[in-house]
Amino acid sequence: MRSVAVFTDTYLPTVNGVTYTVKAWRDCWADRGGRMDVVYPRTDGYAARVGEYPVRSLPFPFYPGFRLGTPWIPRRVRDAEVVHAHTPFAVGLAGLRLARRTDRPFVASYHTPTAEYADYVAPSDRIEALVERVSERYERWFLDHADAVLAPSEATAERLDDVGVEAPVTVIPNGIDTDRFRPVDATSFRSRHGLGDAGTLIGYTGRHGYEKRLADVVDAAAALDATVVFGGDGPAREDLEARAADCDVDARFLGFLDREELPAFYSALDAFVFPSPVETQGLVALEANACGTPVVGANDGALADTVEDGITGYHFETGDVDSLRASIRRTLDERDALGETCLGVRERHGVGHAVDRLADVYERVV
């Protein structure tokens, strides 16, 4: 197995898909006898382990919880055979600099379209449009320096082609830990979080960002006999709580859940609702499916492919609350059958398959 230096602008204890992918790939790589070091922004609440190298960081003023790391290259990762950047910002730039300096192959994963977050930093529509254009140009510049670009879905690969990325793109779904994510008894979870007497549960876990359109879940639930359970946190949480109160929706906000609690969270739900149109894969949807919970997902972005109608859940049209509500009702009506078909396809999404393909890419660029 090749020695790899991974550079990422987000890592533990931050909770998001990039963090989980980096950690899962690193653990699987190590299990196979390989070395995969990680360089990431230092933050409170997490002690670095062997092969993890935090660099100095500062809070990002426009997005709570995100930190900007300095583009520093730790000495102990400089002998890696492959350099892999999971994000294009400061720490990712350090990875690019290391690859150039040592003439090592450079691989870049594309996880998040940064233009989708322009409204967090732009005070007006005009400036937001400018930020989006600049973001796309910067992403294209960064990715075109890679020997290989990894996209987690066909929809994401198509987007890269649309914005003019010329570097070779390989689709590698990020994969999930199917040993961890499986159906479990959720009785104690429900009791611990005050859900023991709740009836039908629909929910979501992840970042509470405005781009996720979580307010649509609250609006749809206003005409459903169901409790909405939100795991995670983010800048939209306060507005979501207020909206739920205004709509008289029984919504429970659990905050960030430990990774160990997530299988019970998914297993407790009758349906996982994922209204985000900006996903590049949507790992939480696959995690829910692996626990036997069907997903109601936006028919946009990667979720258009991640959710399989009639097998792992149902789609709805983004922004159409009536369509969302109808898909939730249909999913709840077919809950038992969909749960069985979810379990029937769970193994195809195992992280081991992703790492097999990742190893092939590393060998190709070396």
- Give tens-digit pLDDT for 29-44: 999 999 999 999 999 8
CATH top-level class of 186-348: alpha beta
Q: What's the pLDDT band for 15 if we cut at 50, 70, 90?
A: confident
Q: Report the C-alpha dihedral over residues 12, 14, 15, 20, rounded to 10 degrees.
A: -30
Nearest one of 276, 271, 314 to 293, comparing CA atoms: 271
Question: Domain segments of the chain: what residues?
Answer: 3-175+350-365, 186-348
Exposure b/e, 267-282, CB count within 10 A at least 16 = b? bbbbbbbbbbbbbbbb
Mean pLDDT score, 342-366: 97
CATH of 3-175+350-365, one of 3.40.50.2000, 3.40.50.10320, 3.40.1190.20, 3.30.200.20: 3.40.50.2000
| Percent residues over pLDDT 70 in the chain | 95
Q: What's the pLDDT band for 14 if we cut at 50, 70, 90?
A: confident
Mean pLDDT over the full length of the chain: 94
Please tell me the distance from the alpha carbon of residue 143 to that of residue 13, in angstroms, as a whole number: 26
3 state SS of 295: strand
